[in-house]
Amino acid sequence: MTLRQELSFGGRRLLRDNWLCERLVAQLRRHETLGAEEIDSLQRIALRRTLLAARGRLRYCRHVPARFPAERSPEVLREHFPVICKETLLENPREHYPGSGRPKPWQGTGKTSGTTGTPLRVIRGPRSVLMEEAFLRRHWKWGGFRDGMRRATLRGDLVVPPERMRPPFWIFNRYNNQLLLSSRHLRDGCVDAIIDELESFAPRMLQAYPSAACALGQLLAQRGRRLEIPVVFTASEPLYAHQRQLIEERVGARVMDMYGMAERVAFATECELGSLHVNPDYSYVELVDDDGNSARGEGYVVGTTFHNLAMPLVRYRLTDRTRWIPGACRCGRPFPMIEPVTGKWEDAITGSGGAFVSPSVLTFAFKGLHNIRKSQVAQVGPARWEVRVVPAPGFSSEDRRRVVHNIHALVDPGVRVDLVLKDEIACTAAGKFRWVVNEWRAARAA
Ligand SMILES: [Zn+2]
């Protein structure tokens, strides 16, 4: 490690992985055993604290009542706070950012990139940074991972220079017993060294972008090899069914997905039984329809922070959509369940009849096709898709025919499909990969 990395990892360890964080995790774990009424009352108290902080810090909240009992906080939220979104913050920063709009010396800034390329800044207090770590660690405990165990990380970090051709394609962070691997070196010529290193390090868990873990899975499959990492925690990108299957077959025993975002207004974690639980002690989550009313079925995720009072985002609408799953999970946690958030709404594509096509359905068209290294489905016009394929060595005209045939037979017979071979498919600015993209909608919006 370079001196800069030493300082950065050592500093992180001091700031985030301290006894305070451990205490917070223990406190959060107790919430898993509460009753529904206790969770409800905990939420109302936290919500009241946020709404009063918003009133004190943000100009657009000045009209909000200064006094109200905690029991009434959900009603106050709906009566006095409009649903806002990224554009609201960008268009009217004076009303929506605290003070001068700049972070204080002890505060940090979170940035989102998004697919539209419009970056957003969110000011974060130190407590928010610590709480984020505690929520993450609680999820890790669901997967049997405890502090100090060996972990490997395969995300977007620039671990070593991308042009490096000889190992190591990783660095070891001794402060956290963590092996950080370069996802940019998941390719022939480099990946064998990465697989060997992972095998000998034998981590108890892997933290990964779904696309990176899936690419590793494909390379393992091509080599007839298999890793046995007990749990793979995926986050930051939608996780598709075909990716999960491949990761479980080749990389790890179990995939546990997590849903969160830089704005930190919602956090959902997959339990041992495969349910995705909204963490009700993290934020106040609503699902709303296009008019901002409570959604009956599928709706946009709208969240209100509980832990970032430095810049309290209230009723902040994301572009993700999901629906509530009624009932209780057999894992016993009193946390509500949602359907997997499979993709960004802005990336949803439509078929020949104008109806939305589920990415999970699209995956069927690619089942059993082994000569494809990477693919992407982009909507480029009305009922017109471009399927981009990075071919593996054995890719033939028969494979090409099968992709197009499968889409027509299994997904949509009326859509026009152009298959384009590529050397590489670009990621977003943040190094994330989107399997389904809607470039037509983006072009019309620009
Ligand atoms: Zn559960």
Q: What is the distance in A from the centroid of ligand 1 to the CA of 369?
A: 33
CB neighbours of 120 closer than 8 A, spacing ≥ 6? 86, 89, 90, 111, 112, 114, 262, 263
Instruction: For 110-141, write each residue's pLDDT tens digit.
Output: 876 544 445 688 999 999 999 999 999 999 99
Q: pLDDT value at position 430?
A: 58
Q: pLDDT value at position 116?
A: 40
Percent of the chain at pLDDT > 70 equals 93
DSSP secondary structure string, 94-108? HHHSSTTSS--TT-E
Q: What is the distance in A from the centroid of ligand 1 to the CA of 238?
A: 20
Q: pLDDT value at position 253?
A: 87
Q: pLDDT value at position 118?
A: 56
Tokens of 288: 């709303």
Which residues in the chain come in under a pLDDT of 70?
Answer: 14-17, 112-119, 342-346, 358-360, 428-432, 445-446
Residue 323 pairs with which residues in a beta bridge? none
Q: What is the distance in A from the centroid of ligand 1 to the CA of 30?
A: 15
217 vs 229: CA distance, rounded Å: 12
Report the candidate in 335, 347, 343 with the shortest Cα–Cα distance to residue 360.
343
182 vs 117: CA distance, rounded Å: 24
Tokens of 17: 């992985």
Name the residues around ion ligand 1, CB cutoff 5 A: 271, 273, 275, 329, 331
Q: What is the distance in A from the centroid of ligand 1 to the CA of 182?
A: 32
Instruction: Map residue 195 onto helix, strand or coil.
Output: helix
Q: pLDDT value at position 211?
A: 80
Report the candidate in 134, 114, 154 with the shortest Cα–Cα distance to residue 318.
114
- What DSSP designation does 154 have? E
Q: pLDDT value at position 114?
A: 47
Q: pLDDT value at position 314?
A: 98
Domain spans, the chain: 348-445
Report the candidate in 254, 235, 257, 267 with the shortest Cα–Cα distance to residue 135.
267
128 vs 109: CA distance, rounded Å: 11
Instruction: Map residue 253 onto helix, strand or coil.
Output: strand
**The model's pTM:** 0.81
Check: CB of residue 298 under 8 Å from CB of residue 277.
Answer: no
Q: What is the distance in A from the centroid of ligand 1 to the CA of 67?
A: 37
What class has domain 348-445?
alpha beta
